A and B are shown apart, each in its own frame.
Chain A
């Protein structure tokens, strides 16, 4: 298991380097920060002084290697905007995103397992068709439109829920609903599909022949077999949720990493942007490794490297 983990970590190193490289150079294409941070009337001397203070006077390649050296010492630079260490800015914003994404995924997985299993239990029954309609609608609604509709109905018209912010449970409802719809819809379909095949597999008949009740058959025998495909998709959805936090955090003014990224792009706050992307990428790599570990725990055949 340790060797397996180590292999995965090593193989993640190169893509991570590509991410760092990409963000570093792309960020610098957004323009010269001096135009934003200095008054229009700034003299060339003031501009040169600003560039020298922030290291922008060096050739970009030199800047990049300096940056790599800093990362190696866990120094992520300072925010141009607030002079706060970039790492601090990112770490302050990240928990808000993780809480939102984590809560949403938890709800999505639990709801999808229950609804998907019930639908799969009697294929083509009324319950199955209802679940199918609900999930395909849910998976296809554009989230930004849904978010705005939610605000319109529940905040503006009914005045039940706040439009933005993080104060109190009520503030969580609309962002979670917005983030929830797509993962929920997709997961219901995946869970249903893999549960239909697990429930018709010979081993479920054998379980029944031992006197196992339906709860044990569905949630004991079938679900564990059906878990792998659902887990793959859930991992993928979590990744896109962390990335997609940008939309929801912007609409609901949620102080998470998505909003921080957008702000730092607009402000050409390179250090913060780079740190935010790096942390997100690390999280995604960690998540993928976690999913692989889950596979191995769920199925001995993965652990032992057996195919089929």
Chain B
């Protein structure tokens, strides 16, 4: 909507670059390397899906980027650049100034993420009160506007209602409204639809999609759902055991996976490519992050693993135009 943004080229500059981010979690049984050298870039007006099973480190990556790690977790390396400036080098106050207009996050648990004792209007008005120092009245008018934008019926009368008076889907809309209030350059959506009914899920994804286009936001979509990624993302980064194992345009990656893990994931989804065959699955379980196998973390479950997979950790390296995979034998994986 803003005229300056419209002038910017579509899929323009990198809004956020994450470079070799690593996060450790201290547990009583030892240190777990939950995020290991994760790198990705997301551009304005573009959606990047961080795809992976639960426990692969995708949510931890999102929390580290947003600055909301639990006290037991620490960023132990890497850089997070938002419009060029390194977030990790900023003071707490400087990061707070960016929380909202620079970087916003939609949390996964829509049912408990709204404060039960305040009206939704008060909560929606908060970003404007904090960052733009608007009066109560002006901020409330903005809140009504926001409610309208995210499709909440009768916003004028509903602005003074409390969270428990809204359905799960409506609450997720309110959370999204809060996150996009100040037109952030990067919006992280952490499993935004897990708590919701299937029909509502589609509506929420559509809303995120529209807001992204309207505000030229860079959207990072954290999901375990291949279909959601396929439908709504432009790029995908597949994570396994704390690392990105494959990245690229979503259509290319899904049509022609170049990492055995991505291939295994796609094969385990019923669809046209495996019609009539018994459904395949990846044998074994993801490794304990306190004791990840040496070399390639996936080798213990990999159908094409060789001896040097145990001794040399594969780097994420280019496999084609805009594509990368972390596998010594990606060519075999691609044609297996």
User: Which A residues lie at the B interface, using CB under 8 A?
Assistant: 122, 201-203, 205-213, 216, 221, 224-225, 298-301, 306
9-residue interface stretch from B80-88, B112-120, B284-292, B295-303: B112-120
Are A209 and B68 interface neighbours, CB within 8 A?
A: yes
Contacts of A210 in B (CB 8 A): 99-100, 126-127, 130, 178, 181
Are A206 and B113 interface neighbours, CB within 8 A?
A: yes
Min distance, Cβ A116 to any Cβ of chain B, angstroms: 18
Contacts of A207 in B (CB 8 A): 115, 126
Contacts of A213 in B (CB 8 A): 93, 96
Q: Is B105 an interface residue (CB 8 A)?
A: yes
What CA separation (Å) do A255 and B162 show in the bound complex? 48
What CA separation (Å) do A212 and B117 show in the bound complex? 17
Are B164 and A208 interface neighbours, CB within 8 A?
A: no
Contact of A209 among B99, B118, B131 (CB under 8 A): B99
Q: Is B97 an interface residue (CB 8 A)?
A: yes
What CA separation (Å) do A208 and B100 show in the bound complex? 9
Are B164 and A206 interface neighbours, CB within 8 A?
A: no
Contacts of A224 in B (CB 8 A): 115, 117-118
- Residues B108-142 near A (CB distance < 8 A): 109, 112-119, 126-127, 130-131
Q: Which residue of A lies closest to B188 (CB)?
A: A209
What CA separation (Å) do A300 and B123 show in the bound complex? 15
Q: Is B179 an interface residue (CB 8 A)?
A: yes
Contacts of B99 in A (CB 8 A): 208-211
Contact of B97 among A201, A211, A298, A299 (CB under 8 A): A211
What CA separation (Å) do A221 and B112 show in the bound complex? 13
Are B105 and A301 interface neighbours, CB within 8 A?
A: no
Q: Which residue of B lies closest to A302 (CB)?
A: B117
Are B130 and A212 interface neighbours, CB within 8 A?
A: yes
Contacts of A211 in B (CB 8 A): 96-100, 127, 130-131
What CA separation (Å) do A299 and B117 show in the bound complex? 5
Q: Is B107 an interface residue (CB 8 A)?
A: yes
What CA separation (Å) do A12 and B93 show in the bound complex? 52
Min distance, Cβ A296 to any Cβ of chain B, angstroms: 12
Q: How large is the interface on B (under 10, 10 to 19, 20 to 34, 35 or more residues)?
A: 20 to 34
10 closest Cβ pairs, A-B complex: A211-B99, A203-B115, A300-B162, A202-B113, A211-B100, A202-B112, A211-B96, A210-B127, A224-B117, A211-B130
Contacts of A221 in B (CB 8 A): 115, 118
Q: Is B211 an interface residue (CB 8 A)?
A: no
Are A201 and B112 interface neighbours, CB within 8 A?
A: yes
What CA separation (Å) do A134 and B164 show in the bound complex? 38
Q: Is B221 an interface residue (CB 8 A)?
A: no
- Residues B158-209 near A (CB distance < 8 A): 162, 164, 175, 178-179, 181
Min distance, Cβ B173 to any Cβ of chain A, angstroms: 14
Are B126 and A202 interface neighbours, CB within 8 A?
A: no
Q: Which residue of B lies closest to A122 (CB)?
A: B71
Contacts of B146 in A (CB 8 A): none
Q: Is B104 an interface residue (CB 8 A)?
A: yes
Are B68 and A205 interface neighbours, CB within 8 A?
A: yes
Min distance, Cβ A32 to any Cβ of chain B, angstroms: 58
What CA separation (Å) do A213 and B94 show in the bound complex? 11
Min distance, Cβ A34 to any Cβ of chain B, angstroms: 60
Min distance, Cβ B108 to any Cβ of chain A, angstroms: 9
Q: A211-B96, A211-B97, A306-B164 are in contact. Are A203 and B68 (CB under 8 A)?
A: no
Q: Is B66 an interface residue (CB 8 A)?
A: yes
What CA separation (Å) do A72 and B127 show in the bound complex? 57
What CA separation (Å) do A206 and B109 show in the bound complex? 11
27 intermolecular pairs with C-beta atoms under 8 Å apart: A201-B112, A203-B115, A205-B107, A205-B113, A206-B113, A206-B175, A206-B178, A207-B126, A209-B105, A210-B100, A210-B126, A210-B178, A211-B131, A212-B130, A221-B115, A221-B118, A224-B115, A224-B118, A225-B116, A298-B117, A299-B116, A299-B117, A300-B117, A300-B119, A301-B162, A301-B164, A306-B164
Q: Which residue of B lies closest to A214 (CB)?
A: B92
Q: Which residue of B lies closest to A200 (CB)?
A: B70
Q: A209-B179, A298-B117, A300-B162 are in contact. Are A202 and B127 (CB under 8 A)?
A: no
Min distance, Cβ A306 to any Cβ of chain B, angstroms: 6
Are B127 and A203 interface neighbours, CB within 8 A?
A: no
What CA separation (Å) do A205 and B175 show in the bound complex? 12
What CA separation (Å) do A41 and B143 show in the bound complex? 86
Are A202 and B116 interface neighbours, CB within 8 A?
A: no
Contacts of A216 in B (CB 8 A): 130
Q: Which residue of A lies closest to B101 (CB)?
A: A211
What CA separation (Å) do A298 and B97 show in the bound complex? 30
Contact of A202 among B109, B118, B119 (CB under 8 A): B109
Min distance, Cβ A304 to any Cβ of chain B, angstroms: 8
Min distance, Cβ A308 to any Cβ of chain B, angstroms: 9
Contacts of B131 in A (CB 8 A): 211
Q: Which residue of B lies closest to A303 (CB)?
A: B162
Q: A209-B66, A209-B105, A210-B130 are in contact. Are A203 and B179 (CB under 8 A)?
A: no
Are A202 and B107 interface neighbours, CB within 8 A?
A: yes
Q: Which residue of A lies closest to B111 (CB)?
A: A202
Min distance, Cβ B133 to any Cβ of chain A, angstroms: 12
Q: Which residue of B lies closest to A201 (CB)?
A: B112
List 9 additional contacts besides A209-B68, A210-B127, A224-B117; criterion CB under 8 Å.
Answer: A207-B115, A208-B68, A209-B179, A210-B99, A210-B126, A211-B99, A212-B96, A224-B118, A225-B115
